[in-house]
Amino acid sequence: MSSTTDKLKGLANEVAGNVKQGVGKATGNDKLVAEGKAQELKGEAQKTVGDVKDGAGKLADKFTGKH
């Protein structure tokens, strides 16, 4: 998976997680709030993976002379 794909999937999971949390809070559904928080954290992790891939690619380019 490319870094951009990881970042986009991460963002989508964060948004979906936040929506779930909001709906769960509004309806008093603690299970939905917890699921939303878990999905939000998954999204944050996916975005971090994308950032790491970007950084590794830039570092590799630096050492190989590619810019």
The SS3 of residue 2 is coil
| The two three-digit tokens of residue 44, written as one number | 């944050």
Q: Which of 29-38, 39-48, 54-63 has the lowest mean pLDDT?
A: 54-63
Looking at residue 32, its pLDDT comes to 98
Global pTM reads: 0.80
pLDDT confidence of residue 40: 98
* Residues 3/50, Cβ–Cβ less than 8 Å: yes
Could you read off the pLDDT of 2-42 as tens digits, one per residue? Answer: 899 999 999 999 999 999 999 999 999 999 999 999 999 99
Q: How many CB atoms lie within 10 A of CB 37?
A: 15
Please tell me the distance from the alpha carbon of residue 5 to that of residue 49, in angstroms, as a whole number.
10
Token duo for residue 39: 């999905």
- pLDDT classification of 67: cutoffs 50, 70, 90: low
